Amino acid sequence: MVLRFAGRLGIKTVFAANRPIPDLSETAQMELCPQGEGEADKRIAALAKPGDLVLTRDLPLAEKLVESGVAVLDDRGRVFTRENIRELRSVRDFVVGLADNGLGMERIPSYGREELIALANSLDRELTRQMKK
């Protein structure tokens, strides 16, 4: 979906991961990161600047990016803002703390048509907003 939006609008996209992503379009660039926890996040944080749009579900990364003026969405279409990121991060840290102490329940959230539509709508809104700036 990201590649379709970027291709349609002629927007350069950058993917950061520790393994190549096959079949990227001409408007996409791959940032191959070293193996290890947080390496792709470090690269994203180093590359992102105000005016960019980052798609991540990693709340610590999202918080860092939002604080530096970068627009951030998660893969379910939620827009992270200065107003909501601290609360979301606090809840996440609490849940992680419970899990670390054996008190959390494993829950794998579903991802279906509703989430995909929400992402498409948020992506469209944020790209339109960014392009107007």
Amino acid at the residue 102: G
The string of pLDDT tens digits covering residues 3-55 is 888 888 888 899 999 999 888 887 899 999 999 989 999 999 999 999 999 99
Contact 101, 93 (CB under 8 A): no
Mean pLDDT score of the chain? 88
This prediction's pTM = 0.82
Q: Which residues contact 10 (CB under 8 A, 6 or more apart)?
A: 27
Rounded CA gap, 89 and 5, in Å? 28
